[in-house]
Amino acid sequence: MKLSADLRAFEARIGHEFREPDRLLRAVTHSSLSSATRPDNQRLEFLGDRVLGLVMAEALLAADGHASEGQLAPRFNALVRKETCAAVAREVALGEVLKLGRSEMMSGGRRKEALLGDALEAVIAAVYLDAGFEAARRLVLRLWGERIAQVEQDARDAKTALQEWAQARGLPPPTYEAVDRSGPDHAPIFTVEVRLGSGETERATAGTKRVAEQAAARALLARMEAKND
């Protein structure tokens, strides 16, 4: 089969020309458009998640020969989590080539975090099946780029750090509350407030509650640490 112009352009963006183009077509086909003759990307997503995990585990071990499992685990999680996959997907404009059903398209599927992350994992699997593990590894390392070198900063779990800070001072665990939700259903914006038992609060806004909670915790922890220096 021959790929459409937009998929050929996508091949160029990710740096891999498929020997079997149907693998790429399947990787970008969402279940909302699948049929008996047009399989979706869910099985590829399952495989791609495992390929991505192995590539990142190898990369982290190679980057730091002395890190313990306890140090490596949060770095690994930061690199393979859905938000990171979605961010990489946006950088290569994966959303533009997704094959979606009408309802998914109308609800903003091309911008949905989970859908983008899943599709990128499917693309990784498609490359793996098309050209082997080394090709998939090169793809992942190229697309993730500086994220791997900078992962130590990204891996810090602000909510855990803030909870440990509070407990060390005899305070109960921080509480989180979603105080506002705006934007359309397909692209909501959440504002979350974190509160310490001593009364201090901080707010942050993001496209998911999880990210907003982390941002609020990070801001409050930075303020409290600066206050106590």
What positions carry a catalytic annotation?
49, 121
Alpha-carbon gap, residue 63 to 149, rounded angstroms = 8
The conformation of residue 38, written as its DSSP 8-state character, comes to B
Alpha-carbon gap, residue 139 to 48, rounded angstroms = 12
Q: Is beta strand 175-182 parallel, antiparallel or unpaired with respect to 189-195?
A: antiparallel
Note whether 56 and 64 are within 8 A (CB). Answer: no
Of the candidates 193, 40, 45, 6, the one whose C-alpha atom is nearest the C-alpha of residue 126 is 45
Instruction: Name the one residue in this structure whose structure tokens are 């990142």.
Output: 56
Alpha-carbon gap, residue 121 to 42, rounded angstroms = 9
